Copies of this chain bind each other. A is one copy, B any other.
Amino acid sequence: MSNLQERLRERGWRLTAQRRVVAEVLTGDHVHLTADEVHTRASRQLPEISRATVYNTLNDLVALGEIREVGTNARAKRYDPNAHRPHHHLICTECGTIRDINPPITPAPTLTEAESLGFTITKTEITFRGLCPTCTSHPSTRAPSPSDA
């Protein structure tokens, strides 16, 4: 975690309280928060932090490659702090829960020359969709979303 702050400083980032808090909120595995959730949690440590700053910081972190946007098909983007260890996702089609799939899994699929249609591929993301354990056992009950705790 301090690694991150050092890396950012090296890249010429001003280390402000709000950036520190956002970076701190975005820590751990299976963390996939929306901008609004980040803002809510950050506010607990730094009440004056503004939404705009959260958005700015998130966008900067994405640009620096420190966090990643996760495609959920839902209205709001989610951010995944685990950008340095490439990994794939499991998404529950019922309640929206997202989980990281642990490290060195599934033989990375590759494309033939013909299949890649001239693209220079740099990243491969796999998303597995289905029912999470909770939604499997309570088919009708809507599981709570993994938002703010």
Mask, A119-134, CB within 8 Å of B = 1, is 1111111111111110
Mask, A7-23, CB within 8 Å of B = 1, is 00000000000000000
Return chain B residues, CB-CB under 8 Å to A147.
none
Q: How many residues of A contact B (CB 8 A)?
A: 39
Return chain B residues, CB-CB under 8 Å to A114.
102
| Neighbour of A128 across the interface among B90, B116, B130, CB < 8 A | B116
Return chain B residues, CB-CB under 8 Å to A105.
109, 111-112, 115
Return chain B residues, CB-CB under 8 Å to A130.
119-123
Tell me the complex Cα distance, A115–B104, Å.
10
Nearest-neighbor residue (CB-CB) of A108 within chain B:
B109
Q: Which 7 A-B residue pairings sit nearest by Cβ, starting from the closest?
A: A71-B71, A118-B133, A106-B109, A121-B130, A123-B129, A122-B130, A125-B127
Q: Would you mind naming 19 contact pairs between A and B with Cβ atoms under 8 Å apart?
A: A69-B73, A73-B77, A90-B117, A90-B119, A93-B122, A99-B119, A102-B114, A106-B115, A118-B132, A119-B128, A119-B136, A121-B128, A121-B129, A123-B128, A124-B126, A124-B128, A125-B126, A125-B127, A125-B129
**7 new A-B pairs (CB below 8 Å) besides A106-B111, A120-B136, A123-B130?**
A71-B73, A93-B123, A99-B119, A106-B115, A109-B126, A122-B129, A124-B126
